[in-house]
């Protein structure tokens, strides 16, 4: 009887997903994928549907991850692009979305994505991925209580099993990051792990180090975890701030229209969805198009509403996201950055200062650090009790976020690394222990 396949680590993220497999005696291997002539370990968490390829009573035709990006770019915005669907896991109110003749609910979208993620991971790693450890946030985005978190995890488990994962384990993402960080240590530490994702920010206080990592099994490590905490505020919120303050005003936000002798404000709901990637696809509906056409006729600035309609109809969310991402990275490196987005005659070009950006995201950063403080308070610890802080994820580089951590723990205690791979590597380490 042959040996069972290894247990993979699968980091299903809001923006990006990564698959890893710990070697029996060698280093952890990551699934790699081709993207625009290059190679990447990131499998973008998105689905693309070419509507012309859909047939009644036939399986849904779709692309996912890097292939989905390439198909979307080749289609020049035609079709349906759906991303950041992990953010909806805790929701109980979502209906179905139309993809040509098909009506798909969130569970079907999750299954399609995870099935393709598994298939492409198997092709890259040359091994079956029917056994896996999945990561999950401490608190799923939108979850208001433990019942909502349990609902989200159950939905993730069901979708993964429907996608071909026969043996499924789940570990908290910040604990997985702790396992990854621990592998590099030559002495024991009491560590604070801060995992900044796109949809959630998670914390873990844990005893780690060489005297503990060789313990058999995962259950023996449960006593090492002193506290966890999480909040549904993360990188996507920072992106939303840039869209709300830089892009949305050029698309009619804050404007007015006149109807029945009254001056009314343009509804802000369009811009709320525009600034949140997981809601953007819901703007491509017939009802929204009709409503915006009416506003276009009545608005004080009809050209702004026309530009909004064009961005929605031409599926420009991905390109808008890239412009936002570039600006956010530039503001982490300098005091000023130039935001630029252009499509079919519409252009937003604006200089953005770091000071303005930090003002826009002040409430979001306050929510993150409040969760950090609450996580320590649960176990009666102070920042002085923590030996080291390991920060992973792109938001760890946002200067005002880093300042908050430095103010509490001191600059010398702060460390970071492996923004895309740390969770998957830690989950693969969990798989190896199992």
Q: What is the CATH number of the domain that holds 119?
A: 3.30.420.40
Domain contains 130: yes
Answer whether residue 371 is part of any domain. no
Pairing of strands 256-259, 97-99: unpaired
pTM of the model: 0.91
Residue 215, pLDDT score: 63
Give the pLDDT confidence score for residue 216 in this predicted structure.
53
How many residues does this entry show for the chain?
434
Per DSSP, the three-state class of 231 is strand
In a domain, residue 320? The reply is no
Q: Is residue 381 part of a domain?
A: no
H/E segment holding residue 424? helix 422-433
Number of domains in the chain: 1
What whole-number distance in Å separates Cα of residue 337 and Cα of residue 241?
A: 15
Judge whether 154 lies within some domain: yes
SS3 content of the chain, % helix, strand, coil (to 5): 45, 25, 30
Beta bridge partners of 404: none
Cα(167)–Cα(157) distance, integer angstroms:
10
Which residues in 71-96 are b (16+ Cβ under 10 Å) and which e? bbeebebebbbbbbbbbbbbbeeeee
Q: Answer yes or no: is 197 within a domain.
A: no
- The answer to whether residue 117 is domain-embedded is yes
Gyration radius (Cα) of the chain, Å: 22
> Which of helix, strand or coil describes residue 357?
helix
With beta carbons less than 8 A apart as the criterion, state whether 211 and 96 touch: no
Nearest to 30, CA basis, from 204, 180, 188: 180
Q: What is the mean pLDDT of each run of 10 residues along the chain (434 residues)?
A: 75 96 84 95 95 94 96 87 91 86 94 98 96 96 93 97 97 94 93 95 95 66 91 95 97 96 95 87 87 96 96 90 95 97 95 98 98 97 97 94 97 86 93 86
Domain for residue 153, yes or no? yes
CB 421 within 8 A of CB 160: no
Angstrom distance (rounded) from CA 157 to CA 107: 10
Residues 6+ apart with CB under 8 A from 76: none
What pLDDT was estimated at residue 406?
97
Distance separating alpha carbons of residues 134 and 168, to the nearest angstrom:
7
Residue 86 lies in domain: 8-173+426-433
């Amino acid at each position: 009887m042959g040996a069972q396949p290894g247990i993979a680590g699968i980091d299903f993220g809001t923006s990006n997903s990564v698959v890893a497999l710990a070697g029996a005696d060698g280093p952890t291997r990551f699934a790699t994928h081709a993207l625009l002539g290059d190679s990447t370990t990131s499998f973008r968490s998105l689905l693309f549907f070419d509507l012309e390829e859909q047939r009644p009573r036939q399986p849904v035709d779709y692309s996912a991850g890097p292939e989905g990006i390439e198909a979307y770019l080749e289609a020049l915005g035609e079709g349906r692009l759906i991303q950041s669907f992990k953010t909806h896991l805790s929701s109980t109110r979502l209906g179905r979305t139309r993809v040509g003749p098909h009506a798909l609910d969130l569970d079907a979208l999750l299954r399609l994505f995870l099935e393709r993620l598994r298939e492409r991971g198997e092709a890259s790693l040359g091994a079956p991925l029917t056994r896996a450890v999945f990561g999950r946030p401490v608190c799923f985005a939108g979850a208001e209580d433990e019942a909502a978190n349990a609902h989200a995890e159950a939905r993730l488990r069901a979708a993964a099993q429907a996608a071909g994962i026969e043996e499924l384990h789940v570990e908290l993402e910040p604990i997985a990051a702790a396992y990854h960080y621990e592998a590099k240590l030559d002495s024991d530490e009491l560590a604070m792990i801060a995992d900044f994702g796109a949809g959630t920010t998670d914390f873990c206080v844990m005893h780690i180090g060489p005297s503990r990592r060789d313990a058999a099994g995962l259950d023996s490590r449960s006593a090492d975890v002193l506290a966890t905490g999480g909040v549904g505020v993360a990188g996507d919120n920072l992106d939303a701030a840039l869209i709300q303050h830089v892009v949305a005003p050029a698309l009619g936000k804050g404007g007015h229209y006149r109807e029945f002798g009254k001056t009314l404000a343009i509804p802000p709901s369009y811009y709320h969805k525009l600034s949140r990637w997981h809601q953007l696809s819901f703007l491509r509906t017939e009802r929204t198009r009709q409503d915006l056409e009416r506003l276009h006729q009545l608005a004080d600035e009809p050209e702004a509403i026309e530009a909004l309609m064009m961005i929605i109809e031409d599926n420009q969310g991905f390109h808008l996201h890239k412009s936002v991402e570039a600006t956010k990275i530039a503001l982490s490196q300098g005091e000023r950055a130039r935001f630029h987005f252009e499509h079919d005659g519409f252009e937003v070009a604006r200089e953005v200062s770091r000071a303005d950006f930090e003002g826009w995201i002040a409430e979001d950063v306050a929510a993150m650090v409040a969760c950090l403080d609450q996580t320590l308070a649960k176990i009666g610890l102070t920042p002085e009790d923590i030996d080291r802080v390991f920060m992973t994820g792109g938001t760890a580089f946002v200067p005002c976020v880093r300042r908050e951590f430095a103010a509490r723990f001191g600059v010398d205690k702060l460390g970071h690394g492996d923004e895309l791979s740390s969770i998957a590597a830690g989950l693969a380490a969990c798989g190896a222990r199992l």
